[in-house]
Amino acid sequence: MQHANFHQQTTLAKGIFERGFTFVTGVPDSEFKTLITELEANELGKRYVLATREDNAVSLAVGAYLAGERPLVFMESSGIGNAVDVLTSLAITYEIPMVLFIAWAGYKGRDVVHHNAIGEPLKPLLDVLGIESIDVVLDEHDPNSLLDIIEKALELANAQSSPVAVLGIPKKFAEGDF
């Protein structure tokens, strides 16, 4: 019976589509390894398109939205620097609702120096851009809490006609275990 329960668990990728998203793109990061593995196994070339840069991922999401899709873009926090131009010139200007699922490297300065450079001021940077954000601790053993937050972000993005960021705090940094 325990084996049957394992197969009934909602995976993060499956849950994202069950919660209303129809298109996912993003740039690989270690915090997303399980999500990427699931997406590549089941959705590559269908509802998932791999991106090599964050600006490319946001551009793909804008195009997908204009074609009738509901996009989610994943990236590491340092990648927001690559995405600022396309966020401001396309997504924000043309009021494109999308969820930015950002692995928050540099959370409270609890990471390596090059991650802290953008990680520490990430929230104020998003605030300056007018992108609302929601924090969540990443816990692969509890995907439903994360999925609830991601779904809430999609509702906000649609209501505001703008990008909304879900800032995924790596569990080791949230707990101070680094």
- Partners of 97 in the β-ladder: none
Q: Where are the domains of the chain?
A: 2-172
Please tell me which residue, 114 or 72, carries the higher pLDDT value. Answer: 72
CA angle 79–31–168, rounded 5-degree value: 75
Question: Are 104 and 122 a contacting pair, CB within 8 Å?
Answer: yes
- CA gap 135, 138 in Å, rounded: 9
Strand 23-26 to strand 48-50: parallel, antiparallel, or no bridges (unpaired)?
parallel
Least confident of 7-11, 80-84, 160-164: 7-11
Segment (H or E) for 35: helix 33-42
pTM above threshold 0.85: yes
- How does DSSP classify residue 141? T
**Can you name the CATH fold of 2-172?**
Rossmann fold (3.40.50)
